[in-house]
Structure 1
Amino acid sequence: MNSLSSAGEAQLSTTDRKRATTAGLTLAGGGWMSNLIVYLIQEFNVKSINAAQISNIVNACTSLIPVLGAIIADSFFGCFSVVWISSSISLLGSILLALTAILHSLRPQPCENGSSTLCKNPSKLQFAVLYGGIALASIGVGGTRFIVATMGANQFKKPKAQSTFFNWYFFTIYTAAVLSTTAIVFIEDNVSWACGFGITVAANALGLAIFLLGNRFYHHVEPEGSPFTGLARVVVATIRKRKVGQLSSGSENYYHGHDGVPLKIMAATPTKSFRFLNRAALITEGDINPDGSIAKPWKLCTIQHVEDLKTLIRILPIWSSSIFLATPIGIQATLSILQALTMDRHIGPHFKFPAGSILVFVLVSTSISLTMLDRLVWPTWQNLIGRSPTPLQRIGVGHVLNVVGMVVSALVESKRLSIAQSHHFQGQPSSNIVPISVLWLVPQLVLVGIGEAFHFPGQVTLYYQEFPTSLKNLSTAIISLIIGIAFYLSTALIDLTRRVTDWLPDNINDGRLDNVYWLLVGIGVVNFGYYLICAMLYKYQSVENRVDVSPQL
């Protein structure tokens, strides 16, 4: 009885430490990333659209690096080493950013009389320290993002417990992000940048310390070598056996592995889907040694490796549809900050809402929605329908809400521009504040936040449960890959729009930002149609994965 109690306490301590670590690292990253556009414009004299593009690139990097981290964790060092090394790199980057705010010599002189035309560009040294800090902090944030999620899920064996952990993981991320986007950004805008960046350094150090102190409680999953080698062998073996005639249906003709290869067999014979890949596991003369091992590794694979590759191919279309789901979110995130900078941000007689905090409404709505979905919506759904909603259904709802959010964004921007034109603000960069409350941006951000509560946890659950066991770290990091590609696409789309239209000048009061949002609506509608086709054609790998996806918080 005492041993069971100790085990439960250890698992609780492990989960709490993961949440605390996630909270600390999220506070640290959110403290500088959420206000980066404003920092670049106000302290380094960067043009507004250029600052938005830099922010997009940073967000893309912090989202692509988790994929590299997942591959390294799966193949070589494991989750624990990747997380603590990345956290240390993030801490170093945060310190450099704090130094740019503390030392006047690391920043250019402010613009004369607040004019954007009389600004001194940063020196090479100032740019080097700034971009060096951003690069290191981005690498560190990316290296921990989602790897902590996989490490946390690895502490549990049952899918329901794992899915519960994912919900708590997202809840912790969004809650910590709310604090960083409001409290830390407020301090940066109203107290000092040095104080705000100093808090991010402290949060990063605290998160790293909590993580390291919990090492003895963690269940460590040893890396088993690169899983991509086995997948590559399937492709090569299939090509080398392309001239093999009729494929056999007997299990004895396919390679299952031998006692020296610890593999979990999914099926006695390969499945019929993507049947041409079955050649890679078909035993031909000279493929096997007398002891049962593979004689020619790049000519014969196990059934497990073949089925792993098929799983990735099946899920690839759904994954690709999520890229254009995240792209509008990335564009809206950066452009909303630029909109907020041109709007009346006074709330009451004494409080001025920080422009960098405008995205807090996405975070708050997502956090509240996650709780409401698990406590109210999913149980009601279960009672009415008889089963929980599938991950694909949750993702589909997220698609719809995302499109609706872009429609509202376009309508609000049309109103903002009409007010700007009626008050003759065009062509007056020194007086570009439009007399419309920043709170007009709230509905569109709330809709996108609710949509994220549907599609992001749905995607993580889908990929974690459907991906092969050897790719569990990659299954959670694949979300980050989606976000990273989406931010790069958003950067490219904004750049293309600036080249071929006059919708996005440096002073957005002279442009047509509403047309950009309508373009995103069109992209979202087409992409949703593509997703519906992919979802209808997709088949879950097991019944358990369809049912056990909506646990209680």
Structure 2
Amino acid sequence: MAEDDNYTKDGTVDYKGRPANRKKTGKWRACPFILGNECCERLAYYGMSSNLFLYFTNQLNQHNATASKNLSNWSGTCYAMPLVGGFLADSYLGRYWTIATFSIIYVAGMTLLALSASVHGLMPTCSEKDKCHATNLQTAVCFVALYLVALGTGGIKPCVSSYGGDQFDDADEEENRRKGSFFNWFYFAINIGALFAGSVLVWVQVNVGWGLGFGIPAGAMALAVVFFFSGTRLYRNQKPGGSPLTRLSQVVVAAVRKHNVQLPDDISLLYETSDADSVIVESRKLEHTNELRYLDKAAVEIESDHVRDSINPWSLCTVTQVEELKGIFRLLPVWATGIMFSTVYGQMGNLFLLQAVYMDARITSHFTIPQASLTIFDTLSVIFWVPIYDGLIVPAARKLTGCPTGLTQLQRIGTGLFISIFSMVAAAVLEVYRLRAVLRHGPGTVSIFWQVPQYFIIGCAEVFANIGQMEFFYGEAPDSMRSLCAALSLATTALGSYLSAGLVEAVTAASARGGPPGWIPDDLNRGNLHYFFLLLAGLSVVNVVVFVFVARRYIYKKVV
């Protein structure tokens, strides 16, 4: 028995496929390699992507509309590919080999991009600074590189955070408590990389050259791969459990085929394997819940299920399989409330930037700060709040709530959603003040640094909402679907962008009807941008109310 205590109880194995020894693998001895990998990868991604719009317009000589469309398509692909990467990780490759394989593709794409901006014949021809021409071949090479990066990041995004969570045994109370701290520092590592990218690399690309500006991110991604492989002997690995989409489909088909079957009053009569292991590879059994009882029909045994020696999985499913599908349905309402938060978060690269264009960006008479650089205050806010949350808020909340993590995951997410409202209110108040200053003193008289509070508030909201959502989706996802559920949570970013675009189009059409300039005209000094910020604040209030309603009724996953 004492020897069994040396091994994890959640089915993880070491790099040789042996049961993971808890004294030699995982926990914080493995996490520095994962955090180093994530920090370098995010530095590479943001360092390459932050200025792409300028590269398209100034170097590839694309029109603004074309560059905007190309950038949106590429960004959308970056957030769609995680669904593919997450599926492959959960079904066939496992998280380790998915990260390893797609990282190599990522490095290849970053290297090709750097070459396309620095090697004669591949790089655009420039008559002077920012006046360049690119041939069709040169443009094609650039976009091949970018979509290789999109493919690479799709395999990494949904897996790295989940892989870090795998290093802590879910069946061990102490390790499970420390896992929450990992997600805090994981997000901290992301923002350390983003801070360097949004400050130093943006300056290098504009003032030194695009070859070096893309070459440094390529080197950072190569370093990320080195970090990851260096920890191979220390990692705990979850074995892939086969296609989750097939298993979920089997439950639906089996339930429909048995729609006339009566459910038993005694839930112990529902089908489940008799041994300790689940039918799903290296996954724990799940306890039955009373939600969505119709799906339980998939686990009702009837005489025809035993005609043959083997059981047809399209006719009879285990309780654990049924609970997997129920778990996904339970996650969806919580997931949906993240879309509005992503809409608010997305304003940093959108209307906050537009607002900044009409403000005074001078630091001295000889130096003007780039408007996009103000996002570093969001990054600094995250870097400021993560240690405070982990070192002060969690211990204080633990004494009040008795919860090992201080706040439950849903309480943490809800707090972040609530805080984000004040960012929109701050932006609206600033816009009213700016418009009054325009009337009194003329345009461009309000310092851009008055935007710092709205960025800082969003950073605080991120520490609660985004990290809470990351931890929540990892903990509540079925064991065999954690990468896919992480990819699903990332999809809120894309949907938030689409919602923002739809709202802008709707309010522009409505407010400009009949001749007035509308809320967001070409000349913002004649508009009412604060109305749009207040609209987002109001929708965020409604979103918080819906979230509270959903959270109060949420039933957390229970393993056997």
**What band does the TM-score fall into relative to the shorter chain?**
0.7 to 0.9
Report the equivalent of 1:223: 240
Structure 2 residue 168 is matched with structure 1 residue 159: no
Does the Cα contact within 8 Å between 1:170 and 1:457 map onto a contact in 2? Answer: yes
Partner of 2:295: 277
The one-letter amino acid paired with 1:24 is C
2:49 aligned residue = 33
Question: Aligned match of 1:265 in 274, 285, 289?
Answer: 285
User: Is 2:193 the counterpart of 1:183?
Assistant: no
Residues 57-109 of structure 1, C-alpha deviation per residue, up to 9 Å, x if partnerless? 54443233222211110001111222122222222332343345436874476
After TM superposition, give the deviation of residue 497 of structure 1 in Å. 5.1
Question: Residues of 1 paired with 2:200 and 2:74: CA distance?
Answer: 22
Q: Which residue does the alignment assign to 2:151? A: 139
Distance 2:241 2:25 in 1: 29
Structure 2 partner of 1:485: 495
Q: How does 1:387-406 map to 2 (within 5 A)?
A: 387=403, 388-406=406-424
Cα deviations by residue, 1:297-349 (Å, 9 ceiling, x for unpaired): 21211111111111121221111111112112113323333444453333245
Cα distance in 2 for partners of 1:30, 1:250 equals 55
AA in 2 matched with 1:464: Y
Task: Evaluate the alpha carbon distance shift between residue 62 and residue 422 of structure 1 in structure 2; reply closer, same or farther with a 3 A threshold.
Answer: farther
Find the aligned partners of 1:503 and 1:122 in 2 and give their Cα distance.
38
Amino acid at match of 2:459: G
8 Å CA contact 1:52–1:335 kept in 2: the answer is no
Alignment partner, residue 10 of structure 2: none
Q: State the match for 1:550 in structure 2.
A: none
SS of the residue aligned with 1:287? helix
Distance 1:403 1:395, change over 3 A: same
- Residue 52 of structure 1 and its aligned partner are, at CA, apart by 5.7
For the structure 1 residues 384 and 255, does the alpha-carbon distance in structure 2 shift closer, same or farther, using more than 3 Å as the test? closer
The reply to whether residue 20 of structure 1 matches residue 36 of structure 2 is: yes
TM-score of the aligned structures, taking structure 2 as reference length: 0.84
Q: Deviations over 1:170-220 (max 9, x none)?
A: 111112211211121222233333222111111011111222343333223
Say which of 299, 303, 306 aligns to 1:288: 306
1:53 and 1:491 in contact (8 A); partners too:
no
Matched ranges for 1:80-229 at <5 A: 80-102=96-118, 106-107=123-124, 124-157=136-169, 158-229=175-246
Residues 7-50 of structure 1 deviation map (CA, whole Å, 9 limit, x = unaligned): 45876552221111111111100102223344445445556677
37-46 vs 135-144, which moves further: 37-46
Shift of 1:257: 2.8
How many angstroms does 1:461 deviate by? 1.8
- Which of 84, 87, 97 aligns to 1:68? It is 84
Q: Which region of structure 1 is more displaced relative to structure 2, 248-257 or 276-285?
A: 248-257
Letter in 2 for 1:392: L
Q: Distance in 1 between matches of 2:125 and 2:439?
A: 34
Q: Distance in 1 between matches of 2:530 and 2:119?
A: 40
Q: Is 1:530 matched with 2:532?
A: no
Aligned to 2:344: 328
CA distance in structure 2 between the partners assigned to 1:176 and 1:31 by the alignment: 9
Partner deviation per Cα, 1:91-137 (whole Å, 9 max, x = no partner): 2332343345436874476899x9xxxx8886544543343333222
SS of aligned partner of 1:344: coil
Moved more, 437-446 or 249-258: 249-258
Whether contact under 8 Å (1:31, 1:185) holds in the other structure is yes
Bigger drift between 194-203 and 50-59 goes to 50-59
**Which residue identity lines up with residue 454 of structure 1 in the other structure?**
F
Q: Deviations over 1:484-511 (max 9, x none)?
A: 2222333444455556645445665565
Structure 1 position 230, deviation (Å): 1.3
Instruction: Output the aligned Cα RMSD.
Output: 3.2
Distance 2:536 2:135 in 1: 37
Higher RCO, 1 vs 2 (CA within 8 Å, ≥6 residues apart): 1
Q: Aligned partners of 2:145, 2:441: CA distance in 1, in Å?
A: 41
Residue by residue over 1:248-303, the C-alpha shift from the partner in whole angstroms, topping out at 9 and shown as x without a partner, is 12355321136696454333xx4322111111100112113565x41x32121111
Rounded Cα–Cα distance in structure 2 between residues aligned with 1:412 and 1:488: 25
Which one of 243, 246, 257 corresponds to residue 260 of structure 2? Answer: 243
2:198 maps to amino acid: T
Q: Is the 8 A contact 2:278 2:285 kept in 1?
A: no
Match of 1:454 in 2: 464
Match of 1:299 in 2: 315
How far apart in 2 are the matches of 1:184 and 1:10?
34
2:536 counterpart of 1:520: yes
Q: Structure 1, unaligned stretches of length 5 or more?
A: 426-433, 545-553
Change in Cα spacing, 1:465 to 1:315, as seen in structure 2 (3 Å) is same
Q: Distance in 2 between matches of 1:108 and 1:489?
A: 39
Distance 1:299 1:251 in 2: 18
Shift of 1:477: 2.8
Preserved CA contact (<8 Å) 2:24 2:234: no
User: Identity over the aligned pairs, expressed in percent?
Assistant: 32
